[in-house]
Amino acid sequence: MILAIPQFYQNAFTASSAQSSAPPRRAYYSSARSRRSLTCLRPLVILRKIDMTDTRIYLDNSATTRVDDLVLAAMLPCFQNVFGNASSIHTFGQEARTAVEQARREVAGLIGADTREVVFTSGGTEADNSALWGVFRSGYRPGRHVITTRIEHPAVLATCKSLESAGAEVTFLPVRSTGQVDLADVAAALRGDTVLISVMHANNETGVVQPIREIAALARERGIVLHTDAVQSAAKIPVNVGELGVDLMSISGHKFHAPKGVGAMYIRKGTKFAPFMTGGSHERKRRAGTENVPSIVGLGAAARLAQERLAEMGSRVRGLRDRLEAGVLDRVTGARVNGTAERLPNIVNFSFDGLEGEAALIALDLEGVAVSTGSACSSGSLEPSHVLSAMGLRAETVQSSLRFSLCYHTTDAEIDRALDKLVKVVERLRGLSRRAAV
Ligand code: PLP
């Protein structure tokens, strides 16, 4: 079946305020799946025309967000009108350059950076890779010790493993049951040859915010470079590189209504950095590759919108998340919230006694509610969340977890309906396992 493009554009411009993203309406799951060889909860999908009456509820905004109508509108001219290469001298090129530099100002504005400190990338993963390799290879001071935490995104964890293969010694710090790293652990891990600390600003599974300012103070005293992965926090809470005191930072557009495949890296002026992507002299020689003008323009537009909406994220969206949380704790026995330290306003991670998270995810999806589990797809099998495990949760508690993540477009009605459906699903699944046990 073919996706009807004209209809798609029509939806892009006229979608309801709920902005419920509208991928395929029906999902089919493989029935013969064993626990560990299942196709990773990824539904087998059939492309269908987007349904304007779609009433599904998307509460998986930490995985990705729908491109905002205003972002799409800003991007569209860049595919066919402003199509020049931003490095070209002629007018076509200069128009593209102007668009890229406007976006750079918008991104710099979101994070409190100077425009010269913003480098566009293909997303959060590239920004994390570039930041870590860029500092490690720069040789700005002797040493090969790197500090990170056990709860980082794989974009940082796997890169740290690669750094180890290249001769680095990496300390992977534990976290407390609250989900936060202990400052005393950071201080104790510091060595004379520590060159880099990478600690995420907020965790993608629990939303827990890490004490970056305090870590920055420790790093600064010793001249150690500090990177933070702000992929989840940017556009959700105020993120200001000056106030945080970081030297490098990663952000990703698709987490705040820009398209997938675009992000940015902040590099504080004066930080020694060896480019990870080599080639031409784009991005002041810090990231080679022809600029992806439409996506960069989308990132800029999303950054501007995010700044305008930040206060509402902290009040209305936080209020919705709190209402969902209170409703679940009130109506579902054996429910608990994972991550009790300060959190982003849009994420809540629950565990439910006696529930299989993946079964609940599928049941909720069939009810039209999209969430995610505390499990990650890796090579076609489900790995229990390394984040919840690092917080000391027992394996069965980890397996029973579900993450709900909201966005600016989430409505009161969606939260109420999602809560009703969750209560129903948990009761039904628990009833089924009770019957299976007798
Ligand atoms: N870092 C964190 C904390 C994330 O949540 C993600 C994506 O989920 C990434 C990095 C990777 O970003 P991207 O999907 O843009 O490569």
Regarding the beta carbon of 251 and ligand 1, being less than 6 Å apart is answered no
Average pLDDT for residues 387-393, to the nearest whole number? 97
Sign of torsion, CA 258 262 266 270?
A: negative
Residues designated catalytic: 377
What gap in Å lies between CA 206 and CA 385, rounded to an integer?
A: 11
122 lines ligand 1 (CB under 6 A): no
Mean pLDDT of 121-126: 98
CA dist., res. 389 & res. 393, Å (int): 5
CA atoms within 13 A on the CB side of 274: 9
Q: Is the CB of 327 under 6 A from ligand 1?
A: no
The answer to whether residue 408 scores a pLDDT higher than 90 is yes
When the candidates are 3.30.1330.30, 3.90.79.10, 3.20.19.10, 3.40.640.10, the CATH number that belongs to 71-304 is 3.40.640.10
The angle at the Cα of 272, spanning 269 to 273, to the nearest 5 degrees, equals: 100
C-beta 253 within 6 A of ligand 1: no
> What is the Cα–Cα distance from 171 to 218, expressed in whole angstroms?
16
149 pocket-lining for ligand 1 (C-beta < 6 Å): no
Q: List, for residues 229-246, the tens digit of each pLDDT value.
A: 999 999 999 999 999 999
DSSP state of 142: S
d(CA 159, CA 247): 18
Ligand 1 pocket test: pick from 255, 256, 260, 347 the residue with the most ligand atoms within 8 Å of its Cβ: 255
pLDDT at residue 140 greater than cutoff 70:
yes
CB contact at 8 A, 206 and 339: yes
> Contact, 399 vs 375, CB < 8 A?
yes
Question: How confident is the model at residue 435, as a pLDDT?
Answer: 78
Q: What is the pTM of this model?
A: 0.89
DSSP secondary structure code for residue 253 in this structure: G
Give the pLDDT confidence score for residue 438 in this predicted structure: 72
What is the number of H-type helices and E-type strands within the chain? 16, 17
Q: CATH number for 8-68+310-437: choose from 3.40.50.300, 3.30.365.10, 3.90.1150.10, 3.30.910.10.
A: 3.90.1150.10
Same fold yes or no, 8-68+310-437 and 71-304: no
CA distances from 287 to 129, 283, 353 (A): 12, 6, 47
Distance CA(125)–CA(363), nearest Å, equals 31
Ligand 1, residue 203: give the atom nearest the CA: 3
User: Is residue 244 helix, strand or coil?
Assistant: helix
**Residue whose CB lies within 8 A of the most ligand 1 atoms, among 252, 262, 386, for a mutation test:** 252
Picking from 52-61, 198-207, 270-279, 322-331, which range would have the lowest pLDDT averaged per residue?
A: 52-61
Predicted confidence (pLDDT) per residue in 22-73, tens digit: 344 444 344 333 344 344 444 444 444 444 457 999 999 999 999 999 999 9
* Helices 293-312/91-111 angle, 10° precision: 30
The whole-number average pLDDT for the span 166-191 is: 97
Residue 429: pLDDT over 80: yes
Q: How far is the CA of 295 from the centre of ligand 1 (A)?
A: 16
DSSP for 315-377, written as a single string: IIIHHHHHHHHHHHHHHSTTEEES--SSB-TTEEEEEETT--HHHHHHHHHHTTEE-EESEEE
Nearest atom, ligand 1, residue 253 CA:
15
What pLDDT is attached to residue 29?
43
Give Cα separations from 368 to 45, 127, 209, 256 (angstroms): 15, 34, 30, 22
Could you state, in order of their start, the residue ranges of all structural domains in the chain?
8-68+310-437, 71-304
What phi, psi does 372 have (nearest 5°)?
-135, 165
